[in-house]
Amino acid sequence: MDCPQDDLQVISSQGEVLPQSNEFQELLQSLPIRKSMMNTPIYLYNGIWIDESCLKAMIAFQQNFQAQDTDIILVTTPKSGTTWLKSLVFTITRRFQYTISDENHPLVTTNPHGLVPFFEIVYPHNHVGTPRLFATHLQYTLLPESIKTCKCKIIYLCRNPRDTFVSTWHFVHKMKSKLDPSWQFPSLEESFDQFCEGVSKFGPFWEQILQYWKLSNERPEKVLFLKYEELKDDIIAQCKKMADFMNFSFSSEEENEGVIKDIAEFCSFEHLSNLEVNKQTEQHSVPWVDNGLFFRKGEIGDWKNLITLSMAEKLDQLVEQKLQGSGLKLN
Ligand SMILES: Nc1ncnc2c1ncn2[C@@H]1O[C@H](COP(=O)(O)OS(=O)(=O)O)[C@@H](OP(=O)(O)O)[C@H]1O
């Protein structure tokens, strides 16, 4: 997820707009700095690479957010299926409130990002409905204590890093043509090398994946670990798994009536990407990002159309080395 630089306001828990304090400026100046894939500055703060506006919102979130036992937090690396996960979790948990045949279902009129807000984009958010649903790209170590200590649940979704990198590249380059076609961007090779160094927004990606993977093994009631490829492979089984984990299990009547299949189809790439609201080039559920930019191909293996085999092998070797001993495989 890319964050705009200028038009965000961070709002305190009392609803005041937080000023651009000297303290914050001093903090920024003290941090290691690199350029993002978009050629904008990103800073290394407590182990993650993050841009200025997300850092501001993240600090406000860390200082003020109070989790509730019933909250559900969705965590992803950028471009690993966040939009899909948001739509699935929203539809499953709200299914007694909104039937998917309803032409006014919120997902028909609103992009999934407008229904499940990111903590680190604008904080705080107006939140409607229960259970409260939030999303973040942050590592577990950076979440506020209340999320860790209360009974709220975390659903984590990751994706093969080859496709994640390629999806990010396309996203950034579509943003570029929208913002300023003359903007100078790093080359594909430079961006790829940085990604492999861990210098990408909210990266290093492997740190985040490993933290949630370990936690999902230690505390399976707290963290459910999912893979984009497994969702693609058997969406019905994965929806059931999610529903059970969130204590929103499907009844046998629902199963027999095909409710899970209907939800899976409702949230499929084909359905969501064809809704008018998600084709929008002027409507933004995340500041600056056209709703349409969250949908591109939604396929496994599109990396083949951008990076070379030797780049893919380099990334595979890196991932294997980083995940060694964890028992996790990303394929
Ligand atoms: N419903 C559904 N099903 C399957 N795949 C989907 C769906 N919605 C979005 N996508 C694809 O997910 C990619 C975008 O990732 P994110 O949603 O994580 O982006 S973001 O981090 O929220 O900006 C991006 O992947 P690529 O197509 O490979 O670029 C989207 O096309």
Q: Which residues neighbour 245 within 8 Å (Cβ) at sequence distance 6 or greater?
A: 153, 155, 224
pLDDT, one tens digit per residue, over 20-34 is 678 888 999 999 999
Closest CA to 125 of 115, 117, 133: 117
CA distance 37 to 187: 9
Closest CA to 136 of 81, 184, 194, 82: 82
pLDDT at 315: 98
Instruction: Report the separation in Å between the CA atom of 79 and the middle of ligand 1, taken as the mean of its atom positions.
Output: 6
Protein residue with least CA distance to atom 10, ligand 1: 298
Q: Are 73 and 148 in contact (CB under 8 A)?
A: no
Ligand 1 atom with least separation from CA of 272: 1
Active site residues: 137
Instruction: Report the separation in Å between the CA atom of 252 and the middle of ligand 1, taken as the mean of its atom positions.
Output: 31
Residue whose structure tokens are 């999320």: 147
Q: Are 158 and 227 in contact (CB under 8 A)?
A: yes
Tell me which of 87, 167, 231, 300 to substitute to probe ligand 1's pocket, judged by most ligand atoms within 8 Å of the beta carbon.
167
Burial class (CB in 10 A: 0-12, 13-18, 19+), 266: middle
Instruction: Report the separation in Å between the CA atom of 273 and the middle of ligand 1, taken as the mean of its atom positions.
Output: 10
Tell me which DSSP letter residue 14 carries: T
pLDDT, one tens digit per residue, over 211-247 is 999 999 999 999 999 999 999 999 999 999 999 999 9
**Pocket-forming residues, ligand 1, beta carbon under 6 Å:** 1, 76, 78-84, 163, 167, 170, 267-269, 272, 294-298, 302
CA angle 70, 73, 78 (to 5 degrees): 170
Tell me which of 74, 294, 300 to substitute to probe ligand 1's pocket, judged by most ligand atoms within 8 Å of the beta carbon.
294
**What ipTM was estimated for this complex?**
0.99
Peptide bond into 161 cis (omega under 30): no
CA distance 70 to 155: 13
pLDDT at 183: 77
Instruction: Report the separation in Å between the CA atom of 308 and the middle of ligand 1, taken as the mean of its atom positions.
Output: 22
Tell me which of 51, 84, 107 to substitute to probe ligand 1's pocket, judged by most ligand atoms within 8 Å of the beta carbon.
84
The two structure tokens encoding residue 282: 């002027």
pLDDT at 112: 94
Ligand 1 atom with least separation from CA of 271: 1
Protein residue with least CA distance to atom 25, ligand 1: 298
pLDDT at 121: 81
Ligand 1 atom with least separation from CA of 76: 18
Return contacts of 8-14, CB within 8 angstroms, 24+ apart. Answer: 8/53, 8/56, 8/57, 8/121, 8/122, 8/287, 9/122, 10/56, 10/57, 10/59, 10/60, 10/122, 10/123, 11/60, 11/122, 11/123, 11/124, 12/60, 12/64, 13/64, 13/124
Domains of the chain: 10-322 (3.40.50.300)
Ligand 1 atom with least separation from CA of 87: 1
Protein residue with least CA distance to atom 1, ligand 1: 269
pLDDT at 86: 97
Instruction: Report the separation in Å between the CA atom of 16 and the middle of ligand 1, taken as the mean of its atom positions.
Output: 34
Closest CA to 74 of 171, 12, 160, 152: 152
Instruction: Report the separation in Å between the CA atom of 19 and the middle of ligand 1, taken as the mean of its atom positions.
Output: 34
pLDDT at 150: 97
Closest CA to 160 of 6, 301, 3, 326: 301
Q: Which residues neighbour 329 within 8 Å (Cβ) at sequence distance 6 or greater?
A: 323
64-77 burial code (b ≥16 CB/10 A, e <16): ebebeeebbbbbbb
Ligand 1 atom with least separation from CA of 159: 18
Low pLDDT (below 70) residues in the chain? 1-20, 126, 128, 280-281, 283
pLDDT at 48: 96
Q: Which residues neighbour 294 within 8 Å (Cβ) at sequence distance 6 or greater?
A: 83, 111, 112, 113, 278
Burial class (CB in 10 A: 0-12, 13-18, 19+), 110: middle
